[in-house]
Amino acid sequence: MSPTTPPLPDAAVPPPADTGTEATTTPDESRGQTAMREILASSWVVTTLAIVLALIISGVLIAAADQEVQDAAVYLFAKPADFFSAAWHAVSSAYVALFQGAVFDSTADTFAQKIKPLTETLTVSTPLILAGLGLGIGFRAGLFNIGAQGQIILGAVFGGFIGFTFDLPPGLHLLLAMLGAAIGGGLWAGVAGVLKARTGAHEVIVTIMLNSIAVYLIAYLLTTKPFQNPGSSNPISPPIPESAQYPLLLGDQFRLHAGFIVAILAAVFVWWLMGRSTIGFKWRAVGSNPHAARTAGISVNSAYIWVMVTAGALAGLAGSAQVLGTDKVLTADVAASFGFDAITVALLGRSKPFGTFLAGLLFGALRAGGFAMQARTGTPIDIVLVVQSLVVLFIAAPPLVRAVFRLPAPGTRRTRTPRSSTKEVAA
Amino acid sequence: MTATTVAPPAPAPEKAKPLAPISWKAPIGYGVVGLISLVLFGLLPADGQDSTFVLSTSKDFFTIDPITVPAKVTAIVLSVIALVLAGISWQATRNRRKVGAWLPVVFGIVVVLAFLTWADAGKSSPLPLTGLLQGSLFLAIPLVFGSLAGLLCERSGIINVAIEGQLLAGAFLAAVVASITSSAYVGLVAAPIAGMIVSALLVLFSIRYVVNQIIVGVVLNVLVVGVTSYLFSTVLKADASTFNSPPKLPTIDIPLLSQIPIVGPVLFRQTILVYIMYVVVVLLQIFVFRSRWGLRLRAVGEHPKAADTVGIKVNRTRVRATLLGGAVAGLGGAFFTVAAGLAFGKEMTGGKGFIALAAMILGRWNPVGALAAALLFGFSDNLQVVLGIIGTPIPSQIMLMTPYVVTIFAVAGLVGRVRPPAAEGIPYVK
C-alpha cells in the first residue's frame, strides 16, 4: 500500500451494494411486495443462499467422483433415471452422514451417543471461534492478519509449556497457562503490528512469513529436551497435567471442555470492545480511514500494534483450547488448519462477534461432520474445504448470488432491477 | 503491498528538504553479519581442520580437482572481506552515494562461503558445490515462475495471493494430463491452463464483483487445495496408473555449454522447464520495462485513472495480465509433478507459492530481481538438504526458517525500501 492510497477495503464492512434496507417504497407497490423484496434482498438471505449454492456445487463434485454415478453416466441417454437416482443417492447419503456427524446422529443407540456429534461440533468450533474473533478485530481495523496459524502455534507452545513444566494448584495453573497462551500469541502477532507501525511492512507478508517460522519453530522446539517426554525422543510433549486442563463440561464421555465457555466469553468481550468501548471506536475509525483517524488525534500506529496484539492473544487462546483442552498434549500439528479456517470464519461472520460465533459453529460442524462422512460414505473430508471456500467466495460477492437466484438488488425498484444490477456489478 | 510509511502522504521531493536523514540500517546490518561470521565461523572453531569442495562433474571438458582449504584461515579471510564490504557500504552511506547491486550479492556470496567452509570443517565428506548449485536452481524453479506470475499481476494492480493455488492447480493438471497421454510434454502444456482457470476466478471476483483481492486470493488457495485433494482422494487414488503416474521430463544437455565446468552442469544440464524459465525471465525483463505493452501495464498498476484518461482499458489490461500471470504460475506448478518426476500428492506445493510472493517483493517487482531472490531461497532450501547429508551442528528447522526471516527483514526495509505498484489492490471503478 502506498501512502497516498486508502487502506485495504475493510473486509468487515459489507459491500455497499449489500446494506439492505434502503429500499424506497413507491405508491404503485403494495406493502407486502416491499416487505418481500426487503427480505429477499437482505444479507441473511444472501448468506443462506450462498451456503446452499456452495452445497449444490460441492454436491456436483461428490456425484462426479462417485463410482455408481460414473457407471450410470455411461448409459445416461438410454436410462437417465438411473443416472439421476445414483447421483441423488451419492449426494444425499454424503450430506446426511455429514449432518449426522455434525449435529444429531439418529442411528446411534443411546441418547448420549445421539447428541455426541453436537458436542464434537462445539469442541471443534472453539479454536475457530476464538481465532476468528481475533482476525475479525484486525479486519475491522483495516489489518489483514493472516497469521492466525502462527499465533495459534505460539499460544499453544507458551500455554503448553507452562502446563506441562510447572506444578501448580488447579485453577491457578490453568489461568497461568491461558495467560501464557494469550501472551505467546499476542507477542507473535505484535511483531507484525510493530513492523507495520514502525516501518510500514505489509502485515500480509509479515504474517505469512511468521506462520512458516512458527511451524519450523515448534518442530524445532519439540526436538529439544524441555519439550519432550522424559526418556523419549518423539516430537511430543509430556501430557498436560489435570491442574492445567480445561475442565470437561459434560463428563467423561464427551470431549467438550471449558474452552468453549472461554470462546463465548471472548465473543461477548469482543462485542463490548469493538461496539461499546472507546478503544474499539478508535480501532474502527482507523479501519475506516486512517488519515481521518490521524487527523482526529488517534494514534494510528499504536492502534495497529494493539489490534495485532489483541488478535494474537485471542488466537493464542485458540491454541490453548487445543493443547489444554482437546489434545491435552503439544504436538507439531497442534494448529492443524485452524489458522486458515479461521480466516474464512471471520470473513463469513463479516468480522462481527456474533456472526463469527455462528460461522465458527458452522465450519466446526462441517469439520466434525466431515470425519463422519468420510468414515460412513467414503466421501473424502477435503470436500469440506471446497464448501467452506465457496461459501466465503459467494458471500463476498452478493451480486453473483443474486444473479444466480434472480433476486432483487437492495435499494432498487422492481422495474429497474435488471438495469441497475448490471450497472452495479459491471464496475 | 509492503513497506511503506504511513506517515507522509507522499515521499517529499529532494528539493523541498535539503537533506534527508541518512539511514544507517544497511551498513550496520552488513557489519553485524560480518562480525558474526568472523566470530562464529572464523575465530571460535578449533584449529587445523580442513574443508573440501568438489567443483566438477565427470562430464566436463576438464576436471578440476577438489579444493581443500584450511577451514579456520579461509573463514577468517572471507569474513574480513565481508567486513571490508561493510566498510565500503558505510563510506558510501556517509557520502550519500548509492552502491550498486553488486555489494549485497558479493557480500552474500562471501558470507555463505565462510559458512560453508565452517560447516564442512573436519568432515570426511567433501561439499559438492556444483551439486549444491544445481539443486538450488532446481528447487528455485517454482519460486521463479511463481514470483514472475505475482509480478505480472501486481504490476497491473491486482494482488495475487493465489500463487500457491495456481502452482497446485498446475501441478495437478500437469500430472493428470501427462499420465493420461503418457507424455510429459503434453502435461507441461496443460499446466498453464490450470493456472489460468484460477486466475480467471481471481479476476471474476476481484474485478467484476470488486471483492477484496487478498480475500479472493486466500479463499482461492483453500478452494484449490480442497478440489485437488478431493479429486486426488477419489479419482486419482482409484486408478493411479491411469491418472497419477506422470512420466518425467527428460534432462536435456545443451551441447558444449553443458560441459563448461561448474557453470555448465548447473545452468545447461536441466529440463526444458528451466530453459523456458530463462526465456520467460529475459522476455519479461525486456517487455515489462522496454515495450509499449509493459508501459501500459505499469501505468495501469501505478495510476489507473491517468491510464484510463489516455485511453488504456484499465480492467481489460488487468484481466489479461492476471490471466498471463496465472499461466506462468501454472507452468511453474508443472515442476512438482512432471519436472520432478513425482506423482501428484495432497498439498504438495507446501507453501512455495507464499515464498514466491516473498521472492517477488525481495526482487522489488522486477523479473531479474525476482529470479535472484528465488535462487536465494532455492539455495537455502537445498543447502539444508546437502548439509543434512554431510552433517551440521545447525538444526534443519532453523535452516529452513532462514528465508522467511530474511524476507521479514527485507519488507521491514532493512535491505532498502521496497515500493509496490501504487494502485495495487485497489479496484478500478470508473
Residue B70 per-residue DSSP state: E
Q: For residue A416, is pLDDT > 70?
A: no
- Residue B348 CA to its chain's centroid (Å): 18
> Could you tell me if residue A146 is inside a domain?
yes
Chain A residues whose beta carbon lies within 8 Å of the beta carbon of residue B409: none
- Is residue A1 scored above 60 in pLDDT? no
Least confident of A282-291, B37-46, B59-68, B280-289: B59-68
CB contact under 8 A, A205 and B218: no
Residue B424 inside a domain? The answer is no
Are B145 and B223 part of one and the same domain? yes
Is there a contact between A201 and B2 if contact means CB atoms under 8 Å apart? yes
Query: Which of B20-34, B45-59, B120-134, B156-170 is predicted with the least confidence, judged by mean pLDDT?
Result: B45-59
Q: Which of B359, B425, B424 is nearest to B216 (CA)?
A: B425
- Whether residues B164 and B125 fall in one domain: no
CB contact under 8 A, B225 and A65: no
In a domain, A318, yes or no: yes
Q: pLDDT by residue (tens digit) across B97-139?
A: 777 778 878 888 888 888 888 887 777 777 788 888 888 898 9
Q: Does A200 sit within 8 Å of B4, measured CB to CB?
A: yes
Tell me: do B185 and B107 sit in the same domain: no
Looking at residue A351, what is its pLDDT?
A: 87
Q: What is the rounded CA–CA span in Å between residue A338 and residue A152? A: 8
Residue B9 domain-assigned (yes or no): no
pLDDT at A22: 40
Name the DSSP letter for residue A323.
I
* pLDDT, tens digit, 9 for 90 and up, residues B157-185: 999 989 999 999 999 999 999 999 999 99
**Of all residues in chain B, what percent carry a pLDDT higher than 70?**
91
Does B152 lie in the same domain as B87? no
Show the domain range for A143. Answer: 124-361
Closest Cβ opposite residue A383 in set B222, B230, B405:
B230
Tens digits of per-residue pLDDT, B203-241?
999 999 888 888 899 899 999 999 999 999 988 888 888
Q: Which residues of A touch B210 (CB under 8 A)?
A: 15, 427
CA distance B379 to B137: 7
* A386-415 burial code (b ≥16 CB/10 A, e <16): bbbbbbbbbbbbbbbbbeeeebbbbbbbee
The rounded distance, in Å, linking the Cα atoms of A272 and B289 is 52
User: B47 and B107, same structural domain?
Assistant: yes
Residues 6+ apart with CB under 8 A from B251: B269, B270, B271
Q: How many domains does chain A have?
A: 1
| For range A249-276, the mean pLDDT | 93
User: Residue B72: which domain range?
Assistant: 25-129
Q: Examine the domain organization and report whether B292 and B368 are in the same domain.
A: yes
When computed from its CA atoms, the radius of gyration of chain B, rounded to whole angstroms, is 23
Spatial contact of A309 and A194, defined as CB atoms under 8 Å apart: no
* pLDDT tens column, A72-95: 888 878 888 888 888 898 898 889
Within a domain: A384: no
> Is A410 inside a domain boundary?
no
CA distance linking residue A217 with residue A210, whole number of Å: 10
Whether residues B70 and B160 share a domain: the answer is no
Please tell me whether the interface predicted TM-score (ipTM) of this complex is above 0.85: no
Distances (CA, A) of B170 to A80, A328, B325, B334, B410: 34, 39, 12, 6, 29
Quote the pLDDT of residue A12: 41
Asked whether residue B383 falls in the same domain as residue B260, the answer is yes
Which three cell numbers mark A209?
Answer: 512469513
Interface test with A, best of B316, B411, B414, B430 (most A CBs within 10 A): B411
CATH number at residue B372: 1.10.3470
pLDDT bin (cut points 50, 70, 90) of residue A21 is very low
Among A65, A195, A213, beta carbon nearest to B234: A65
Same domain, B44 and B111: yes
Number of domains in chain B: 2
Q: Which residues of chain A does B423 touch, with a Cβ-Cβ cutoff of 8 Å?
A: 5
Say yes or no: B408 contacts chain A, CB-CB below 8 A: yes
Residue B420: per-residue pLDDT: 80
Q: B401 and A212 in contact by Cβ < 8 A?
A: yes
Over residues A361-414, the pLDDT tens digits come to 999 999 999 988 988 888 888 999 999 899 989 988 888 888 888 887 776 554
Residue B20 lies in a domain: no
Q: How far is B182 from chain A (nearest CA, A)?
A: 23
**pLDDT given for residue B17 in this prediction:** 53
What is the percentage of chain B residues whose pLDDT exceeds 90? 36
Which residues in chain B are contacts of A144 at CB distance < 8 A? Answer: 214
- Arithmetic mean of pLDDT over chain B: 85
Q: Is position A83 within any domain?
A: no
Residues B148, B115 within the same domain = no
pLDDT beyond 80 at A123: yes
- Whether B108 and B170 share a structural domain: no
Q: Which of B212, B233, B407 sits opposite A9 (nearest CB)?
A: B212
**Co-location of B33 and B145 in the same domain:** no
pLDDT greater at residue A416 or residue B300 = B300
Window 199-258 of B, Cβ < 8 Å to A: 201, 205, 208-212, 214-216, 218-220, 222-223, 225-227, 229-235, 238
Q: What pLDDT does A190 receive? A: 95
A393 belongs to a structural domain: no
Is residue A290 one of the residues assigned to a domain? yes
Q: A–B: how many Cβ contacts below 8 A? A: 188
Answer yes or no: is pLDDT of B418 > 90: no
Q: Any idea which of A188-192, A351-355, A415-419, B225-229 has the lowest mean pLDDT?
A: A415-419
Q: Check: CB of residue B148 under 8 Å from CB of residue B207.
A: no
| B397 touching A (Cβ < 8 Å) | yes
The answer to whether residue B134 is domain-embedded is no
Rounded mean pLDDT of A52-63?
91
pLDDT at B61: 66
The answer to the question of residue A158 being in a domain is yes
Q: Model's pTM, two decimal places?
A: 0.84
Structural domain contains residue B16 = no
Q: Is B135 part of a structural domain of the chain?
A: no
Residue B223 near residue B165 (C-beta atoms within 8 A): yes
Task: Test B398 with A216 for CB contact under 8 angstroms.
Answer: yes
What distance in Å separates the CA atoms of residue B376 and residue B381, rounded to the nearest whole number?
A: 9
